[in-house]
Amino acid sequence: MAGNRTLAIIKPDAFGAGKAGKIIAHLEAQGFRVVCARVIHMAKAEAGEFYAVHRGRPFYGELVEFMSSGPCMPMVLEKADAVAAYRAAIGATDPAEAADGTVRKLYAESKGRNAVHGSDSDENARIEGMFFFGSAALV
């Protein structure tokens, strides 16, 4: 996946509010291509494993609860320099600080309910893609 692919997740807040289609259309309009996607409802253990890097941080428990609170939509997206391009497209974690026209400015409710997840490096994009899609993320 390195370089041209990244993992994105439309989180339970945005998915439950019916914003998935708008978010995908927004990303496709910016040149991203959806390589694979699925709708899941993560169990707490699965959410805890996915966000294990944050274990021990004050927000970890709340994050696990939130990510297991309803359906979400992990996706592998493709575009040149995908990780950086996606992070620019989604904006700052806090929608109040996100640039106009970014996914979080348009669709997030708050810093904790911020509509989408995005990988922060090529290596994590590969690891996270494999977590949800196995070898399909690499095709």
Residues recognised as catalytic:
117
Q: What are the start-end ranges of the H helices in the chain?
A: 12-16, 20-29, 44-50, 60-67, 82-90, 103-107, 122-133
Residue 119 Rama label (left phi>0; alpha psi -120 to 50; beta): beta
Residues paired with residue 8 on neighbouring β-strands, in sequence order: 75, 118
Kindly give the interhelix angle for 20-29 and 82-90, rounded to the nearest 10 degrees.
120
